[in-house]
Amino acid sequence: MALRTICIWPDPALKEIAKPVEQVTEETRALVRDLFDTMYHEKGVGLAATQLAVPQRVLVIDLDPKGEATKDQAYADELADWGFTGPVALINPKFLEADGKIDFEEGCLSVPGVTETVQRKGHVVVEAQNEKGELFKVDAYGLFAVALQHENDHLDGKVFVDYLSKLKRDVIRHKMERLKQDRDGEASESVA
């Protein structure tokens, strides 16, 4: 299990546009494992490589990280309606279709403690490679469609706060800078 540090917005690494993975290798698969490990540790449902300061077009999503669907049939049905079948890694994702609209309250591991409503497409079809380098398609609705767009935005150097007003971004930026100062202070105290 390899946990990595998640970049906190407005870290410049989050503005970097990820490059395509030329060939899926053991290094790519290790990155996928690290993404899942870090995402689960931080209690997220999605994570992109750029959030770990790795500029590669790789993302992971798990809408049921606690396994709630095994205990809650209504939630299992909702996941199925969204097209979600289990944890998924997408390498070099490409959006083939996007339609409809959905307003969804989003949060982000790179903007901890903040949620805001963002409008996204309600349905997307995405083609990507899996950890074996094989092409596959995802037909996603609802939260799954939102998560795919949110994580893919990271690969394009965007964070959900980029969709907000300047005033909201400035307030959130100030909050994140204070959080980073607090974390940096804790880190230097533990070294001393």
Confidence of residue 6 (pLDDT cuts 50, 70, 90): very high
Asked if residue 32 lies in contact with residue 54, where contact means CB atoms within 8 angstroms, the answer is no
Q: 51-94 pLDDT, tens per residue?
A: 999 999 999 999 999 889 889 999 999 999 999 989 999 999 99
pLDDT at 1 over 80: no
Q: 111-140 pLDDT, tens per residue?
A: 999 999 999 999 999 999 999 999 999 999
Task: Tell the residue number behind the tokens 């997220």, with chain if given.
Answer: 44
Dist. CA 162–CA 138, nearest whole Å: 26
Q: 7-61 pLDDT, tens per residue?
A: 999 999 999 999 999 999 999 999 999 999 999 999 999 999 999 999 999 999 9
Check residue 188 and give its pLDDT: 57
Domain definitions of the chain by residue range:
12-191
Q: What is the third-level CATH fold of 12-191?
A: Peptide Deformylase (3.90.45)
Q: Tell me which residues are annotated as active site.
A: 151
Asked if residue 38 lies in contact with residue 6, where contact means CB atoms within 8 angstroms, the answer is yes
Dist. CA 169–CA 191, nearest whole Å: 33
Dist. CA 158–CA 176, nearest whole Å: 16
Spell out the residues 6+ positions from residue 38 whose beta carbon is closer than 8 angstroms to its own.
2, 3, 4, 6, 47, 52
Q: 105-119 pLDDT, tens per residue?
A: 999 999 999 999 999
Check residue 189 and give its pLDDT: 61
